[in-house]
Amino acid sequence: MSNMLKSTALLSASLFAIVKGQGIGTNLAETHPSLSWSKCTTAGGCVSTAGSVVLDANWRWVHNAAFTNCYTGNQWDATICPDPTTCAANCQLDGAAYSSTYGITSSGNALTLNFVTGSNVGSRVYLMASNTAYQMFKPINQEFTFTVDLSTLPCGLNGALYFSEMASDGGSAAHPTNKAGAQYGTGYCDSQCPHDIKFINGAANMLNWTATSTNSGTGMYGSCCSEMDIWEANSISAAYTPHPCTSTGLLECSGSTCTSTCDQAGCDFNSYRWGDLNYYGPGMTVDTTKPFTVVTQFISSTGTASGTLSEIRRLYIQNGVTIQNSVTNIPGLTTYNSVSDAFCKAQKAATGDTDTFETLGGMAGMGAAMARGMVLVLSIWDDYAVDMLWLDSDYPTTASATAPGVARGTCATSSGKPATVEAAGSGVHVIYSDI
């Protein structure tokens, strides 16, 4: 259930006019906030790389050449957008006021994402390699680390950092009607196959459009791709979760294909869910009242980058101390402290959940996506679908909290309501640094 309906929740949450287009607007020049990160080797140490981030297209103003909205509230403009192709030709995606409108700021190697800024709620950005291309990562046989401060994130919020198998150019080469490309944050996809992406593969996703809130809706098509959730967390609970798909890159799906292509449930490692109730949280082994470093190791079957992904390990570093990952401690699940095919099979058996992880590719499938290259996503969001209960509370709420795998954190099942967390969202933020 990791990152359930992530895109839907993000779009529904925003009170700003979150719209998406394919041309390039002229109202505001796009200037990407800088964000340095490092490439490290055991022999040569770390070398800083000058990068930047770009805001996802769903948060931007989209309009025609006369600056009339292509999409307002939860409806398409019938004149500008009579059909998907004409809509894409007529609509322009504009630059973003990162700090003042979206609460996104950077300094050196640190990126701060505010939860509520004016009428805007949440954000999602991507690491850039250049002004027009996303930075691609192939992490097999490597280690990925970052430092995070999520001390202000309460129940119901998610500071998520993850890889998605998006195209490096945002899909503009394969779909020439998408003129905005990665420079304007296009081409998003994930394992939930979100239907609220307003433009997919250079065309408007307006067919069978159904409003889901005053500011969002869903269309006929979804946007699927493999996803590796390195980090989904607030100050109460955390999880890391591979979500393989049988498709390659972004798949535009419809009907049952949207629920049979990707492992939407994933194979998560949540320390609380798997029995260590005192490992992660305020004042615990990993103390979320202070910053800490998250280390994720992608182990290869051959010890080389060309090998098959066989295991995903987790370590933490806080106050100069390396903290080993927690170990599982629930009935029916033998001792594990990392994600592997064996762990995933065992956790599904212990909980009685359907093992879509294995049937849709398992570790090998997740590794194949990594070998092709994935984009780094950094975000903060709340959940209009199930209030983030899958991360930090008892879920499903209809099951006994004592059943294996149901309790995922100490948050009440009544917590996480978007209206509540948004009303209290001023000053709430996540800081990612030292990637």
Give the residue among 261, 36, 61, 235 at the shortest CA–CA distance from 129: 36
| Catalytic residue of the set 165, 232, 252, 422 | 232
Residue that the structure tokens 């150019």 belong to: 169
**Strand 309-318 and strand 136-137: pairing?**
unpaired
Tell me how far apart the alpha carbons of residues 272 and 242 are, in angstroms, rounded to a whole number. Answer: 18
Tell me how far apart the alpha carbons of residues 154 and 236 are, in angstroms, rounded to a whole number. Answer: 7
Upstream peptide bond of 396 is cis (omega within 30 degrees of 0): yes
* 143 tagged catalytic: no
Question: What separation in angstroms does the CA of 30 have from each of 26, 53, 302, 429, 433?
Answer: 9, 11, 43, 23, 23
Instruction: Please state the separation of Cα 41 from the chain's center in Å.
Output: 27
HSE, side-chain direction, 13 A CA sphere, residue 53: 30
Give the residue among 308, 273, 15, 315 at the shortest CA–CA distance from 144: 315
| Catalytic residue of the set 30, 143, 165, 227 | 227
* 358 tagged catalytic: no
Amino acid at 402: T
Question: What separation in angstroms does the CA of 237 have from each of 119, 144, 232, 330, 393?
Answer: 27, 20, 8, 17, 9
Active-site residue list? 227, 232
